Structure 1
Amino acid sequence: MEAKAMAKQVRVSPTKARQVLALIQGKKVDEALISLRFTPNKAATVIEKVLKSAAANAEHNFGMDLDRLFVKLAYSDQGPSMKRFRPVSMGRAHPYRHRTSHITVVVAER
């Protein structure tokens, strides 16, 4: 049995989120929360919330034991990009993208 939680359109690029998600893959939930709490990254705070939500879903919806939970899967997909323009010299404009991501965390019982 496994429980899942998602955060959609998070204002963090998927590659930066994947770096943090690699830290928690396969760990117990309490160890993963500790490592996320001390990771100095914007994505770490969002991933911590998603992990807490997945653990709460496992306990409430499926009656799983919190002490036996581990992170089975954690991944980040690309969401929609916001296209913006930055003014540069001589009246021109350069385009750039604000990337977003969909973060998914799946927990299961050992």
Structure 2
Amino acid sequence: MSPRKARLVAEHIRGRSVPEARAVLAFTSREAAGVLQKVLQSAVSNAEANHGIAEDQLYVKATYVDGGPVMKRWRARARGRVARIRKRTCHITVQLAERPQAAPAVESAQAEAVEAAPAPKREPARKKTAAASKKKTASKRPAKKKETTA
């Protein structure tokens, strides 16, 4: 499968939790969705076996789809000619990370206090009167009359 087609599906699961990403892939009707499901399952199994992290605590930190080797094939065309067909492959990488723990309540109270601070008051701009805003234009001389010779 081409990297371009796989990237379309990989963008849908980036940043989502693992159960949510599985649901998205289950209802995506593309060939790449099935392949990405297998890669995601492999990454979750590695996280559980190697690091002891439960699936519910994981989210998809990053997904990369890079180009792989390209197989070149030939297709017969008219007048004895051939056309080259490139069968593209790709390398799919899925990085999982543990969800960060909830911040303490003290920090959120400080954030609310900062947001609640009143904005500094500004004085409204003074309106200009009609006489003050009207500029005096420079007086123009009348056009010179042309002299005609008869």
Q: Identify the match of residue 44 of structure 2 among 47, 50, 55.
A: 55
The whole-number CA distance in structure 2 between the counterparts of 1:75 and 1:21 is 8
Q: Identify the match of residue 81 of structure 2 among 68, 92, 98.
A: 92
Q: C-alpha displacement at 1:66, in angstroms?
A: 1.3
Matched, 1:29 2:1: no
Identity %, equivalent residues: 52
- 1:67 is aligned to 56
Computing the radius of gyration from Cα coordinates, the structure with the larger value is 2
Q: C-alpha displacement at 1:96, in angstroms?
A: 1.4
After superposition, give the CA deviation of every residue in 1:25-74 in whole Å (9 maximum; x if it has no partner).
00000000010011010110000000011011001101112111000011
- 2:130 is aligned to none
Note the residue ranges of structure 1 that are not aligned, 5 or more in a row.
1-11
Aligned to 2:35, the other structure's residue is in SS state helix
Amino acid at match of 1:28: S
TM-score, reference length from structure 2: 0.65
**Structure with greater strand share of residues:** 1
Note the residue ranges of structure 2 that are not aligned, 5 or more in a row.
100-150
- 2:66 is aligned to 77
The whole-number CA distance in structure 2 between the counterparts of 1:103 and 1:69 is 19
